[in-house]
Structures are given as C-alpha cells and as structure tokens.
Structure 1
Amino acid sequence: MGTVTSIGIIGMGHVGAHVANSLILQGIADELIMTDICSGEHSKQAKLDAEVQDLGDSLAFCPHNVALVNAGEDYAQLAQCDIIVNAAGDVQRSAIDRDGELFYTTDTAKRFIEPITNAGFQGIWVTIANPCDVVATEIWKISGIDANRVIGTGTALDSSRLKYALSRVTGYDQHSICAYMLGEHGASMFAAWSTVNIGGKPLAQLQAEQPERFAMALAEIEDLARQGGYKTYAGKQCTEFAVADAAARIVRAIVSNEHYITPCSTLMTGQYGESGLFTSLPCVIGADGVEEVMHLDLTDEEIDKFHASCAHVRDNLTRVGLA
C-alpha cells in the first residue's frame, strides 16, 4: 500500500453507498473513487452525484477527511486504487430467485473489468455483486489477475447470520462463536456444523454435556442463516448494512495486513477435489489478498454438500459462458 489508501467503488446503490459510508466512518480510506453507470436510459448519474454530496456533508463527523472523487463512468480512473469494491447489481432481480441477477451482473461487469485492467490495475478486487461466486470467477478470468487478488464476500455475510442466530439461541456473544456457512453465497450454501465451537469448545461436546441447554433445531438455525437476506428484503426491498459491513471488514483486513480469517469466495485449486471456480471456504486475508485457504476436517456429508454447491456454481458459469 502507498501512503494514501485509495479505494474504488463500482455501483453506488444501497450497498455501494453503505460500503463508502462504513469505510469513511471506520477511518479505513484516505480516498474514495466512486463510479456507476452514467450513460443511456438507465443512467444513475443523479444518484451517484447525490451520494457523493451526502458523504461529503458527513465528513465533519468522521475520524478524518477522505478525498471523495466522483468518477462517473470513467472506470479507468479506478486503476490507481489499492482496492476496488464491486457493488454493481440489481437486487430486485433476486427477489424470487437467488440466481436472478446472473445475466445482469455478469453483463454489467464486462463494462468495467477490461477498462480497469487495461489501465494497469494491480490492486485487489473485493466483489459483492451476485451471484457472488460467478462474478468473482468472471473478474479473475477476464482480468487475468492473480486469483489471490480477487475476493468475493461470499459466505462471510451468511456466517455472520449463522453466528447471530446461534447467539440468540445460546445467549453467548456472537464474537465468541466460531461458525461457518460454506459453499456458494446462494441457496446451496450449508452450515459446517462439525466445526462450530463456542469459546473453543465444540458444539457437539456442549450438546453432550448440557443437552437441555444446547438442544437446538440445527436445520432451522441453518435456514435462518440461508434465508436471512430474504427476511430483510421482504421488509425493505433491499439488503444493505450487513453485506456492506462484510465487504468493509475484508477491506480493513487487507489495508491493515491483519491475516484475518473469514469465509469468503476464493479460487478452488484442489480443495476437496474442486478447482477452477470461486466459492467460500475460510481464508486468511492480508495485504496481498487471500494468503491461505484453511483446510477443515469436514464430515463426509458436509463434503458432499460442498460438491453439490460447487456444481451449482459451475452450472451458472456454463449458463453465462464462463465454464
């Protein structure tokens, strides 16, 4: 990283705007370069202008000043950034089907991947747009960048939802619970129950020692994590805070070279026999992106679920010509 931390954001809708706000409030960015589609009948120029103005008006209340750049649709300007966050999507297309944004987001990504790459971008991509694993794979394939420098937020968000659900059931703070949703960020994700622990103690052991306290409907809790986004969408027709904070947390880990471990979407290079596609496993995140993919001792049933989830991602890659 240089002396100035420059972060680009593509797409300033609900999620992109909240990513920007979170980065500013946490003091992570020194410069934000913001872009969106600003031409044609679907131009979002007015929305982009408004968000940049609103964020600027908030700076007096923030940890330090941040240079705010409205780059319109000039994606090449993002090449100077240390990190680019892709939040270009259309959540209404996912209202019924988790893959509803598939063609929209992959087509949209083609507008900016090459201009940014051709302008010499050497930083790290953090992509949120859904289907997250497909878009991450697309960015890697089109840009030709080192796969470790492409990170999908993936199941970082779903794992947070799982920990929150477990916290409400057990009464323990979610920061003391280690629990992962794995696979695609979509309907085929699954909870790796065999690896869940609370304060370092395996959930299975707690259930054996205190069956009354830890007798919980695991399938229902897993479904809360899987369907949490739809519950949020049903009430306000978008999801914004949690996914934006998931992205900002990954950005912070990169900027601070934390070696932070979180599930996120990364290239499979033989893990559990899978390769050539992005999906979520626990990753170590630092200044160079994904530094290591952690190997978990999953059960045979969990490995089968992982393969099924990867198969769904692969099917979607085939649908958009990326397989």
Structure 2
Amino acid sequence: MNKETKKVVIIGDGAVGSTYAYTLVTSDIADEIGIFDINKDKANADSLDLLHSLPYSAVTNKKIYAADYADCKDADIVVITANAPAANFDKGFDRLLLLKKNVSMVKGITEEVMASGFDGIFLIASNPVDVMSQIVAEVSGLPKSRVIGTGTILETARLRTILAGHFQIDPKNIHGYVLGEHGASSFTSWSTTTIASLPLMSWLDQKPVADLPSFDAMDEEVRQVGFEIFKGKGNTSFGIAGVLARITKAIFRNESRILPISAHLNGEYGEEGLYIGVPAVIDATGVRELITVPLSDEEMEKFKASAQLLRDHFNSIKDEL
C-alpha cells in the first residue's frame, strides 16, 4: 500500500456506514471514499452532504461519491457494514440470530467485490461479525490476513470506559482485552488487565474502590450495554464507526498497532480454522501477526466454548457458500 491516495469503499450506507464515512472525513483518514448502497439516492445524498462539509473543515480535500461495485477494483479497503433488510433482533438480542438472514447477502457482496478485480483488505462489521468474516474469507479466496472483522474491539472500548468510570482515570491508561465472539460468549481476560502497568488486582490492593461491581457483573455490562443503546435509538453507530476508523487508520498509517479484532486462528489458543476476537498486530498488510495472551484456566475454558459456538454456527451455513 504505497500509493498516495488512500481509498475506501463502504458497502452499506445505514447508520454504521454513514457514521463511519463521516468519521473518515473528520479524522482525515481516507482521501477517496466511495459509498455503495442498494438505496442509491441515500448513498448519493450522503456523498453530497459530506462533500459540503469540506470547505470549512480542517482536513485535506477528498473525493466522495456514490459508488458501484466496479469502484472496488482499486480500493485499498472495502468495508462491509450492510445487513439484510430482514436482519433484526426480532427473537431477542443475540447477534448470531442474524446469521441466516445475512449469509447470502454477504456472500453476494463478496462475489461482486471480487469480480471487480479487488485485491485489497476487507474490513467486516456486519453481524454476526466473526462468522461473516469467515464467509468473506472463504468466498473471496484472499489471504486470511487481509480479511478482518471488528471482533471484540468495541467490547474492549466499552470495558475500558466502564473501568475508567469506576477508577476515575483516563480509559487510555487501562490495558486489557475482551476476547472471543462479538456476542454473548465474549469475556474479559481479567488476569491480563493492567492499569499503569500494574495488574488490576495489584491496583485494587493499592487503590480500593468502594462498591466496585464484581468482575462477572462488569463483564455482563460489557455484553449488554450495546443492546441498551440499541433499545434507546434503534442502532449502535458512533462506537462501531469509531473503531472501524481506528482499524482503518492503523492500516493506512502502517502503525503495527495491537487491536482486538476478529482474525483467523491457525493454532493460536489451541484453535484453528475459525474467526474469533483476539489481539492482533495491524499494519499496511492487514493482520501481521496474532498475539497470544496467557489466559487463566477459567478464561481458556470460556475461549474454547466461544470458539466452539462460532465453529458450530459457521458449519451450519457452510454448505450455502
């Protein structure tokens, strides 16, 4: 990725896709932004609206337009945020319920993008994101390092925000990861969570917090807060758009940044052949390498249970690919 113009094509111009496009502009991350949606009027309107924000913005000039699949040919990154119209939480708040409704859509999108001659990096936000990422990897035939799901990066941001509120410190000084499925089987690796280089338990020994919820309670808050947001406004958009932009920035600026994304395992954590949320080094090539954090026995059991759940769900639809 050495060309001067950094190009992103966004597939899906709903709440997530449009907010992500806006974040790319205001954070000055991409130079060219193509927005594709089956509602072409919406894609065109958002493109014009974003263009009209540029004259008084402190960012470089940009090319922004309603895109077709052919525009993916020379894109550096294609970001899939789309969900099928019927994909909703009509049976309860479980992202895996969206699988059957989204699988054919994501398969079709991937085939259309690859038919354009695309040879860049896929970034996936469509749910259930771990299985969707594996579908894109299988259908596209691209190296697994160039198919990245958002994974547990948003859960990790929520964890850091929750802890920061209890400890009254900047969330950027809290280091730790939520691992596993982007969904109900995710969990925090409490044994490796640190504040100012101190293990969390050592921090609490020095600075006890009155009425601090249990680790299990905070884990459950991390898993449920997204649905509370969904119930309040009908979607989650700012958080996921922000982390999509963060991953995009790490790629475009070749940062070698460690982020907890959905990546393909090849023996790490004793698992292989599936996508799941783990820390990974992200640079201009995509996933440069995965990081294996030392989990406690209990955490490893949770990881394996989450991995098996995702494997079972992918196996339930793989004949459709």
Query: If the length of structure 2 is used for normalisation, what is the TM-score?
Result: 0.94
Q: Which residue in 2 is equivalent to 1:47?
A: 42
Q: Which residue in 2 is equivalent to 1:179?
A: 176
One-letter amino acid of the structure 2 residue matched with residue 64 of structure 1: T
Uncovered stretches (5+) of structure 2, i.e. residues with no partner: none
2:160 aligned counterpart, secondary structure: helix
Q: 1:78 aligns with which of 72, 83, 93?
A: 72
The answer to whether residue 89 in structure 2 is matched with residue 94 in structure 1 is yes
Alpha-carbon distance between aligned partners in 1 of 2:82 and 2:318, rounded to the nearest angstrom: 20
After alignment, is 85-94 or 51-60 more displaced? 85-94
One-letter amino acid of the structure 1 residue matched with residue 69 of structure 2: Y
Change (3 A) 1:173 1:70: same
Q: Map 1:127-142; keep pairs closer than 5 Å.
A: 127-142=124-139
Q: State the Cα distance separating 1:272 from its structure 2 match.
A: 1.5
Alpha-carbon distance between aligned partners in 1 of 2:226 and 2:212, rounded to the nearest angstrom: 26
Alpha-carbon distance between aligned partners in 2 of 1:105 and 1:229, rounded to the nearest angstrom: 20
Deviations 1:249-278 (A, max 9, x none): 000000000011110000010012111110
Contact 2:8 2:77 in 1 (8 A): yes
Uncovered stretches (5+) of structure 1, i.e. residues with no partner: 38-43
Alpha-carbon distance between aligned partners in 2 of 1:162 and 1:189, rounded to the nearest angstrom: 12
Contact 2:259 2:279 in 1 (8 A): yes
Alpha-carbon distance between aligned partners in 1 of 2:209 and 2:74, rounded to the nearest angstrom: 56
Q: State the Cα distance separating 1:213 from its structure 2 match.
A: 5.2
Q: Which residue in 2 is equivalent to 1:7?
A: 8
Change (3 A) 1:213 1:90: farther
Q: State the Cα distance separating 1:158 from its structure 2 match.
A: 0.4
1:49 aligned counterpart, secondary structure: helix
One-letter amino acid of the structure 2 residue matched with residue 109 of structure 1: V
One-letter amino acid of the structure 1 residue matched with residue 33 of structure 2: L
Q: State the Cα distance separating 1:119 from its structure 2 match.
A: 2.4
Contact 2:72 2:117 in 1 (8 A): no
Contact 1:170 1:214 in 2 (8 A): no
The answer to whether residue 304 in structure 2 is matched with residue 310 in structure 1 is no
Q: State the Cα distance separating 1:121 from its structure 2 match.
A: 1.3
Q: 2:264 aligns with which of 253, 262, 267?
A: 267
Query: If the length of structure 1 is used for normalisation, what is the TM-score?
Result: 0.93
Contact 1:89 1:105 in 2 (8 A): yes
Q: Which residue in 2 is equivalent to 1:250?
A: 247
One-letter amino acid of the structure 2 residue matched with residue 84 of structure 1: V
Alpha-carbon distance between aligned partners in 1 of 2:188 and 2:153, rounded to the nearest angstrom: 12
Alpha-carbon distance between aligned partners in 2 of 1:121 and 1:277, rounded to the nearest angstrom: 23
One-letter amino acid of the structure 1 residue matched with residue 27 of structure 2: Q
One-letter amino acid of the structure 2 residue matched with residue 11 of structure 1: G
2:54 aligned counterpart, secondary structure: helix
One-letter amino acid of the structure 2 residue matched with residue 236 of structure 1: K
Q: State the Cα distance separating 1:90 from its structure 2 match.
A: 5.0
- Tell me how large the CA RMSD over aligned residues is: 1.6
1:93 aligned counterpart, secondary structure: coil
Deviations 1:39-94 (A, max 9, x none): xxxxx2222222112112212233121101212xx313212100111101159613
1:261 aligned counterpart, secondary structure: strand
The answer to whether residue 206 in structure 2 is matched with residue 209 in structure 1 is yes
Q: 1:104 aligns with which of 101, 104, 107?
A: 101
Alpha-carbon distance between aligned partners in 1 of 2:60 and 2:142, rounded to the nearest angstrom: 32
Q: Which residue in 2 is equivalent to 1:40?
A: none
Q: Which residue in 1 is equivalent to 2:52?
A: 57
One-letter amino acid of the structure 2 residue matched with residue 82 of structure 1: D
For this pair of structures, how many residues does the alignment match? Answer: 315
Change (3 A) 1:166 1:212: closer
After alignment, is 252-261 or 203-212 more displaced? 203-212
2:254 aligned counterpart, secondary structure: coil
